[in-house]
Homo-oligomer: A and B are copies of this chain.
Amino acid sequence: MLVVHNETSTGVTTRLADVRRAIDDARHPALLLVDAVSSLGSIDLRHDEWGLDVTLSGSQKGLMLPPGISFNALSPKALAVSKTASLPKAYWAWDEIVEMNKGGYWPSTPNTNLLYALSEALDMILERGLDTVFARHQRWAAGVRRAVRTWGLPIQCADPAVYSPVLTGVVTPVGVDADAIRKLIHDRFDLSLGTGLGKVRGRMFRIGHLGDCNDLTLMAALAGAEMGLKLSGVALAGSGVQAAMEFFASHPAHERLQAAA
């Protein structure tokens, strides 16, 4: 079973521990494979504790690096199964890489530059503390949702229990082409917002709040979105920018409180 930890197209976080429990309750032998590309380093994920079999991620989201590396974490069960599995596999043919990694090498030439960058990024994250980093994203997400609600626009994710801490999907009114709004915002304000994917293409856009951002880069994104929505003729119920400023001003980041205490 392959699940996406943070569903980029909708802004939904999957409850991985519950999925594991459901598989176990059903006494099903399926491996639990998790796509953590946009969640690793930004949303809590416990590969061992939650019984994940394969967690795959990459360098270019929460790890704050350019794209160019992806990697897998594997459970002993996944490793054992892969030895007997008869399905064709390429990226998930791990034997050779596991063997060579023991000596610090790879079967093919790795992206050495990004490995140095990854080491630095991990130092930055661990120095800050994972809990602090996760809390930062939760707070940013709450501020952005405050803005979207104030605009009077629906958040794509319908269930508050699984809101994504790293992106928020904004549903545009019926009859309005979300991609035309995105284009206007890009042309006028140099801001590139995520497009709706699949079924929701043209019906929404996405505001990301992961990795290397802060309150003011988010205020910039919200200002660009608010100006673009208005210029596109979308009637907004209120100023999301104003609401987000009120939220961020009245909710100091956890880490700042700690530093002050």
Contacts and interface: CB of A to CB of B under 8 A. Distances in A.
A171 B45 CA distance: 48
Interface in A181-218: 187-191, 214-217
A68 interface: yes
A88 B230 CA distance: 50
A135 to B, nearest CB: 16
Interface stretch (A26-34, A46-54, A240-248): A240-248
Contacts of A66: 111-113
A58 B88 CA distance: 24
A226 interface: yes
Interface in A96-125: 109-114
A249 B230 contact: yes
A244 to B, nearest CB: 8
A239 interface: yes
Contacts of A221: 216
Q: Which interface class (under 10, 10 to 19, 20 to 34, 35 or more) fits A?
A: 35 or more
B68 A256 contact: no
18 contacts: A66-B111, A66-B112, A67-B109, A67-B112, A67-B113, A68-B68, A68-B113, A88-B88, A90-B90, A111-B111, A188-B252, A189-B215, A189-B216, A215-B224, A216-B220, A227-B245, A241-B241, A241-B242
B223 A109 contact: no
A231 interface: yes
A190 B252 CA distance: 12
A138 interface: no
A72 interface: no
A80 to B, nearest CB: 21
Contacts of A256: 187-188
